[in-house]
Amino acid sequence: MIPASRIIRIDAVGTLALIVVTALASLVTSGTTGVLNLVVSAALFVGGCGAFAVGFLQAVDRSRTEVIDLAGLFYLTGAAAAEPRRALLGLWFVQIAVATVSVVTTSPPWGVMAPVWGIGILTLWSARHGRFQARPPSRR
């Protein structure tokens, strides 16, 4: 299992890659920067889809013994301490902001795919490390 702090670092690396590539594609409009923007954005999209799927399936497994609520699973509401919640949501909001800026500054705006990375990582972190209430014995 990936430690909680490592998941946050992986999310930060993906976010930093998005920022760098979007800035580069915004400043230098060439075929190379466009392809690089596409590759990074697509990798974050596919990686986010994978993280989401794995996290969701792990949450389904945990739901047999714990009450997994969607706000806790996707937004860490009540499922995480303030520090990891702030870090993960902050990184996701940065991804959304960069994607929004990319609509105006790059053509085509491949960066709009990238925030799937953030929600996938949030789901994976919560499914693996989130705190949820135990399911009552009569409902197991």
How confident is the model at residue 59, as a pLDDT? 97
Confidence tier at 29 by pLDDT (50, 70, 90):
confident
Mean pLDDT, residues 11-24 taken together: 97
* Axis crossing angle, helix 116-129 with helix 82-105, rounded to the nearest 10: 170
Q: What is the pTM assigned to this prediction?
A: 0.92
Question: Of 134, 120, 135, 126, nearest to 11 (Cα)?
Answer: 120
Let me know: does 51 contact 73? Beta carbons within 8 Å: no
Delimit the domains of the chain by residue range: 4-131
pLDDT digits (tens, 9 = 90+) for 74-126: 999 999 999 999 999 999 999 999 999 999 999 999 999 999 999 999 999 99
